[in-house]
Amino acid sequence: MTNINVDSFREKMDRFIDTFRKEYPLSAGIRITWQDKILYRRLVGCADYENQIPLTGDSMFTLYSLSKPFCAIGLMRLKEKGLVDIDRHPGAYVPQARGFDSRVTIRQMLHHTSGLPDFKQTKGFEEQYPYVAGRDMRDYVEKLVDFPMFFEPGCGARYANVNFVICALIIENISGLSYADYMKQEVFDALGMKTAVVGRDGLEVEKQVKGYEVREGKILYVGKTGEWMLGAGDIMGTLDDVYCLNKAIKNKLLLKPETWDEILTPSPLNRMGMGCTLTRWHEKRRITHNGGALGFRTYHVQLPKDDLDIILLANFGSGEDIRPKFAEGVYAAFYGADDLESETVEMDKGYIVR
């Protein structure tokens, strides 16, 4: 696609969003970019509903699992320097992980094909070892080795935060920096992510967006969760920060082209690259990153051939997952499509309401 009527597209998007909000609760930042030009940007709702503070362009959203591709970039930088071999066992770099099945590799972890037991998905783990804010995640990893694997390493696929938690610990142990400091120095600053930060329990950030749920028409403050999120879902940032991921992939920034090929090649066991999902969308190659847990839902779609980028950062974790519907509406407005059937992307499996 080479030409688009920008004014017409923006009018279509405004109508779509206005109609969409009548049916689905939505409080979000939206950015749609084509060939590095912002075609549409809109902020609807509030960053703080109690005080009626509206969302702005510098509002800081919790990204949750949209953090994973950035973690993968950080780890692959160490690989390129010869400091990490992703085909080795994670215990080579994190001693507390040595007890896991000897066949597990870091590469499998990046693709969610490791079979490792998970803090949240493994029956009995949280009951026996409840999450305590500020406790070293290495302690939890050491406890987790006593629990059964989901499947033999490399023989199945299961999305689990533990894979990226251990990747973040590898980054810390090899770099000698905290994960937050390493990511700022080696990824955020290098990509021009001016405001992105790695969050932690109790960290207050300027322009921080509060998380909500909508129940029976009522907006309920629920905050955010930091449980089991190190490396897996702990980044906070703006719409513009997230767009830097598009630029990194498109222009092959920070990493060699062959490394980007590794990241963007899905495992034959699933559709997962390293921190991303790769599918066909209306017969177009699609790279998807998403995240969602308590109070937030995030979504990032890249169509490389047409250089179209779609970002939705929402601080409503509404009961029905609206992200696929939102993306289809954007597609129809951009391409003038009537047929909106496409391959679906498996989103986050539920979230917590407290």
Query: How does pLDDT run across 52-87, given as a tens digit for each residue?
Result: 999 999 999 999 999 999 999 999 999 999 999 999
Does position 354 have pLDDT exceeding 80, yes or no?
Answer: no
pLDDT in tens, 175-208: 999 999 999 999 999 999 999 999 988 888 999 9
pLDDT tens readout for residues 88-143 = 999 999 999 999 999 999 999 999 999 999 999 999 999 999 999 999 999 999 99
Any domain includes 345:
no
276-285 tens-digit pLDDT? 999 999 999 9
Q: Is 223 left (phi over 0), alpha (psi -120 to 50) or beta?
A: left
- Confidence band (pLDDT; 50, 70, 90) for 3? confident
Per-residue pLDDT tens over the stretch 81-93: 999 999 999 999 9
Whether pLDDT at 235 is above 90: yes
pTM beyond 0.85:
yes
Amino acid 230: pLDDT: 97
pLDDT (0 to 100) of residue 223: 92
* Domain-embedded: residue 149: yes
Question: How many of the other CB atoms lie within 10 Å of CB of 152?
Answer: 11
CA geometry: angle 261, 263, 268, nearest 5 deg = 90
- Looking at residue 319, what is its pLDDT? 56
- Residue 235 within any structural domain of the chain: yes
Domain containing 95 — which CATH number? 3.40.710.10
348 lies in a domain?
Answer: no
Q: Dihedral of CA 247/298/109/305: which sign?
A: negative
> How many domains is the chain built from?
1
Least confident residue range of 4-18, 32-46, 311-325: 311-325
Residue 344's pLDDT is: 58
Mean pLDDT of the chain: 93
Confidence of residue 233 (pLDDT cuts 50, 70, 90): very high
**Does residue 343 fall inside a structural domain?**
no
- Give the bridge partners for 213, in sequence order: 220
pLDDT digits (tens, 9 = 90+) for 20-44: 888 888 899 999 999 999 999 999 9
Determine, yes or no, domain membership for 63. Answer: yes
Q: Report yes or no on 20 lying in a domain.
A: yes
CA neighbor of 292 nearest in space, from 326, 274, 318? 318
Specify the pLDDT at position 37: 95
Could you list the residue range(s) of the whole structural domain that residue 289 is in? Answer: 6-335
**Is 220 domain-assigned?**
yes
Dihedral (CA of 112, 116, 119, 125) sign: positive
Q: Which residue in 137, 160, 148 sits closest to 100, CA to CA?
A: 148
| 13 conformational bin, left if phi > 0, alpha if psi -120 to 50, beta if neither | alpha
